[in-house]
Structure 1
Amino acid sequence: MPNSSRLGLLRDRDFGRLFAATALGQLGDRIIFLALPLAAIAALHADEFQVGLLTAMTAAGSLLVGLPAGAWVDRMRKRSVMISADLVRALVLLTIPVAWWAGLLSIWCLYAVALVHGVLTVFFDVAYVSYLPHLVGRGNLVEGNSKLSAMRSVTSIGGPTVAGPLVGLIGAPATLLVSSAGMAMSGVLAITIRKREKKPEPSERRELGREIKEGLTFVLKHPALRAMMFGDAVFNLFLVMYQSMLLVFLERETGLQPFGIGLILSGMGCGALLGALLATAVSERVGQGPVIWLAPLLTCPLAALMPWARPGWSVCAAAVGLAALSLGGVVRVVSQSSFQQAMTPDRLLGRMSATTRFVSWGGIPLGGILGGASGSVFGAAGTLWIGAAGMTLSVLPNFLSPLRTMRTLPTEASPSPRIGAGDQSARAFR
C-alpha cells in the first residue's frame, strides 16, 4: 500500500496540525489523570472520600455549564474556543506546583483547580467535536475520529509512563508542570491551523434558553442519539466509581509504587491504541450500530479481574482486563462519535455535543461521590466490583434502540426536529 494511502487525512496540513495539537494536549491530560489524585493521596494523605470528591470536582463542570456551553460555542468560531481553553487551562494547572513550593497546597486547592479545569474542558470538548466535521468533511468522519483516537491512545500509553517516574522523582504536584506545558503547546499549535470557519451569522434574536431547548429537543427526539446519550450516562457513572478507587486499590492493596501504577495505566493505553487501530475494520465487519453495544458487552466484564488482584501475577491478569476495557471503549466511541456527528446538522453540532455531554457526563460528579462513599463502606475492592457490573449493564439502552441493526452511517445529517412537530428524526431510521 502506498505511503500516501496509509497516511490518509494526515496528508492534509491542517488536520496534521490538529493531530499534533491533540497529541500534546492529551499527553498533558493523561499526566493529570495520574498526578492529580496522587497529589491528594501521597502528598496530602487524603482519605477515600476526599479522593472520590476530587474525582467529582473534575467533572462538575458538565453540570455547571454543560447545556449553555453548546449554545455559546455555536455562536463562536470553534477553533478560537479550543485555543483559548487550552491556554487558560495551562495557567490554571500552574497554580498547583506554585502552591506546593510555597507550602500552601491543600485539598481545597486541588478541588478548586479540578473544578475550573473541568469547566474549561467542557468548552474545549464541545468546540473540538463541533470543529472536526468542518475541518475534514462529513465523508471523512470515521477516519478522522479513528486517527485522533489512535493518537489519544498513544498518549494514554506515554502519559502514565512519563508521569509515574516523574511523580516518584519530583513529586505529583511538580509533575503537573509537564501537563501545563502540554496544554500550552497544544494551544499554540492550534493557532497555526490555517482553515478558518466563518463566524456564525447572528440571528435577529439570540435567546439562550430557546437555543438550549432546540438542542435538547433534537437529541431527545432522535432515537439513536437518545440511546447513546443515556448509555453513556450509565457507563460514565460506574466508570468514575471504578476509577475513583482504582488508584487507591493499586497503591494500598497491591503495594505498587508510582512507576508500577504508571505501567498499569499505560497498559490501558495499549488497549485503547489497539482499539483505535481496529475500530474501522471492526465497525465495517460487525456494523457501525451493533459495535456500539457489542464492544462494551464483551470487554466491560473483564474489569472485574482487578478487585481479585493481589501482589504478584494476578496484577498482570488484572492489567490485561483493564486493557480490554479500554479497547472496547475506544471501538465504541469511534463509531458512536461518527454517528453523532453524521446525524446532526452543522448549526446544531455544538448544542448536540453539549446536550449529550451534559446528560452523559452529568452523573460523573455523582459517580465520584458514590465511589468515595462506597470505598468508605465496602472498601476499594468492593467499589471496583460494583463499577464493573454497572459498566456492563450500560449496553442496554443502545441494544434496545435502532442501533442494534444499523450497519452504516447515515449519508447526511438528519433534519432538526421542530418544537411541536412530529418526530422527524425517527423517520430517518424507517
Structure 2
Amino acid sequence: MTQGHGVTTSPKRNGGPWSHQGFRLLLIGETTSKLGTNVTSVLLPLVAISTLDASPLVIGVLTAAPWLPWLVIGLPAGAWVDRLPRRAVMLCCNVVSATLLATVPAAAWTGLLSTWQLLAVALVNGVCSVFFSTACSAYLPSLIDKADLMEGNAKLQGAEQAARVAGPGAGGLLAQALGSATGLLVDVLSFLVSSLCLLLVRDAEPRPARRVDGTLWRDMADGLRIVTRDPYVRTLTLFGAALNLALAGYQAVLLLFLVRTVEADPGLIGLLISCGGVGGILGGLVSSHIPRRLGTARGLITVQLVTAPFALLIPLAGQGPRLALFVVGSTVMTAGIVASNVIIVSFRQSYCPPEMLGRVTSSALFVNFGTIPVGALVGSTLATVLGLRPTMWVLCTGICATSGLLLAGPLRRMRDLPRALVPVHD
C-alpha cells in the first residue's frame, strides 16, 4: 500500500510537449547524451578490435556487458526508483558514467589499457543505464499531459535516432582523426551536458510515494505480476524480448560483418550504421500518425508485418552496388522498430498507475533487455561456428519471425490497446 504526498507542480500546457520547458530541456539533454552514446557504440568495439586485437567472442562479451545488469538488478531498480526522486537518480547515473568513460583514454595514453578495463567500464555503465532508463521513463509523465505522451515519446525517439545518424559517422571520423580511445571524451562531455539540462528543469517533481507496509520484495513482485499476468503488457513484453534477442545477436556481429566480410573502412562503417538512424528518424516521425489512422494495436501489427521482412536484405550486402541492400534493409527495419517502440512505451506510460510505473517499467525492461546479453553471446558464438554471413542470415530471419508473437496474443482482434489497467487477481 502507498500513501502519497500532495505537491503543487507546474501546470501542464495545452500546446503539446513543446510548450513545456521541462520537456524541451529533457529532449536537449537526452539527444546530446544519445549522440555521445552512439559515438561510443562504434569507438569502444574499435578500441577492442584495433588496439587490443579482440576476437569475435570478446566483442560479443563486450557487447553483452552493458545489458547484463538488467538480469541482476533490473527488478529491484524499479522498486528503488519508485522510492527516490527520479531526476536525482538520473543525475547520479550521468556523473558515474562520465567518470568511468574518462578512464579509458587515460589508460590508453599511459599504455595500461586492457580488455578487462573495457569490460568493467561497459558493465558499470550498464548498471547506470538500468537506473537511468527506468527513472527517465517514469519521469516523463510528470512533465507533460497523458494525451501528449505519444507525441513526446515520438520526439524523444526521433531525436535518439537522429543521434544514431550522426553518432556512428562521427565515431568513425574521430577514430581516424584522434584515435578510438581519445574519441570517447565526446561521450564524457555529452553526459555533462545532459546533467546540466536536468539541473535547469524548474518543474517540481511529485514526491515519491511513502511506503506504508510494502517491502522491496513485495514492490518487485507487484510490478512483475502486472507484466506476467496482464494479457496486453505480457504480449508486448514477450515481443520486445524476442526482438531484442535477435537484434542483440545482429548488433554483436554487425561491426565484424562490415569490417571482415563487406571490407568497409571505418569511415564508411560509420555511414552505413547511420542509415539505421535515418530509418529511426522516419519511424519517429510517423509513429504518432499511424495509431490515429489505424489504431494503436492494429497500427503496431501492421508496422511490424510491413517493415520486418526488409531485414532479409542485410545479409546480401557486399562491395559496390550491393551496399544499397544494406542501406535499404537497415533503414526500413529500424523505422519499423522505432515506430513500434513509441507505441509500446506510450501505452505502458498511460496504462499503468503512476505510483507503479517505475516497477512495471523495470519489470518489462528486465524481460526485454535480459535477452540482450544472451543474444549477443549467441550471435558471437554462431559467428565463430558458422561464419559471419550465415550468422547474419540466421539473425535477420529471427528478426522477421518475432512479428508472429503479436498475432498470437489478444492484439490481433483489436483496433486500439486499452487505456486502463486490467485488474490482476491473485
TM-score (norm 2): 0.94
C-alpha distance in 2, partners of 1:386/1:309? 15
| Counterpart residue number, 1:41 | 49
User: Which residue in 2 is equivalent to 1:84?
Assistant: 92
Q: How many Å separate the matches in 1 of 2:90 and 2:415?
A: 33
Counterpart-to-counterpart distance in 1, 2:94 and 2:173: 25
Contact 1:342 1:410 in 2 (8 A): no
Q: CA deviation at 1:396?
A: 2.2
Task: Say yes or no: does 1:107 pair with 2:127.
Answer: no
Which amino acid is the alignment partner of residue 417 of structure 1? Answer: V
Say if 1:342 and 1:409, in contact at 8 Å, map to a contact too.
Answer: no
Give the residue type in structure 1 aligned to 2:18.
L
SS at match of 1:363: helix
Question: Partner of 1:270 in structure 2?
Answer: 278
Aligned equivalents of 1:331 and 1:408: distance in 2? 15
Structure 2 residue 171 is the aligned partner of structure 1 residue 176: no
1:283 deviates by 2.1
1:26-175 → structure 2 map (5 Å cutoff): 26-175=34-183
2:139 and 2:126 map into 1 onto residues whose CA distance is 20
**Secondary structure class of the residue paired with 2:387:** helix
CA distances 1:360-400 after superposition (whole Å, capped 9, x unpaired): 11111111111111110011112211111111111222222
* RMSD, matched Cα: 1.7
Q: 2:225 aligned with 1:217, yes or no?
A: yes
CA distance in 2, matches of 1:197, 1:416: 28
From 243, 265, 276, give the equivalent of 1:235.
Answer: 243
Deviations 1:155-191 (A, max 9, x none): 1111112111101111211111101110111012111
* Structure 2: runs of 5 or more not aligned: 1-12
Q: SS of 2:210's equivalent?
A: coil
Q: Is 2:415 the partner of 1:396?
A: no
Residue from 302, 305, 311 that aligns with 1:303: 311
| Aligned-partner residue type, residue 106 of structure 1 | S
Which of 215, 230, 246 lines up with 2:254 in the alignment?
246
Q: Percent identity?
A: 35
Q: Give the distance between the partners of 1:242 and 1:74, measured in 2 at CA.
A: 34
Equivalenced residue count is: 414
- CA deviation map 1:322-343 (0-9, x unaligned): 0111100111011111111111
For residue 403 of structure 1, report the CA deviation from its aligned partner. Answer: 2.0
CA contact 1:22–1:152 (8 Å) conserved in 2:
yes
Deviations along 1:122-145, one digit per CA (max 9) or x if unpaired, are 100000111111111211111111
Residue of structure 1 in register with 2:29 after alignment: 21
1:409: Cα distance to partner? 4.8
SS of equivalent to 1:197: coil
SS of the aligned residue for 1:314 comes to helix
Secondary structure of the structure 2 residue equivalent to 1:289: helix
- Letter in structure 1 aligned against 2:39: I
Aligned partners of 1:414, 1:313: CA distance in 2, in Å? 50
Q: SS of the counterpart of 1:46?
A: coil
CA distance in 2, matches of 1:213, 1:223: 17
Contact preservation (8 Å) 2:231, 2:410: yes
Contact map agreement 1:143 1:280 (CA 8 A) in 2: yes
Distance 2:165 2:231 in 1: 35
Decide whether the 8 Å contact of 1:343 with 1:410 is kept in 2. Answer: yes
The one-character-per-residue Cα deviations of 1:12-47 (angstroms, maximum 9, x if unpaired) are 211111111111111111112111111111221111
Aligned-partner Cα distance in 2 for 1:404–1:167: 47
User: Cα distance, 1:257 vs. partner?
Assistant: 1.1
8 A Cα contact 1:345 1:415, kept in partner:
no
- Aligned equivalents of 2:16, 2:218: Cα separation in 1: 40
Structure 2 counterpart SS, 1:205: coil
Name the CA shift for 1:336/1:329 in 2 (closer, same or farther; >3 Å).
same
Whether 1:334 aligns to 2:342 is: yes
Q: How far 1:415 sits from its partner (Å)?
A: 5.7
Partner of 2:421: 414
Q: Which residue of 1 aligns with 2:196?
A: 188
Looking at structure 2, the residues matched to 152 and 362 of structure 1 have their Cα atoms a distance apart, in angstroms, of 22
Q: 1:426 aligns to what? A: none
Q: Which amino acid aligns with 2:145?
A: G
Runs of 4+ off more than 6 Å: none
Quote the residue 2:293 is aligned against. 285
Contact 1:345 1:416 in 2 (8 A): no
Give 1:416 shift. 5.5
Q: Distance in 2 between matches of 1:292 and 1:78?
A: 29
Q: TM-score, normalised by structure 1?
A: 0.93
Distance 1:141 1:406 in 2: 21
Asked if the contact 1:78/1:131 (under 8 Å) is kept, the reply is yes
Deviation at 1:223, TM superposition (A): 0.5
Corresponding position of 1:207: 215
1:259 to 2:267 alignment: yes
SS where residue 361 of structure 1 aligns?
A: helix
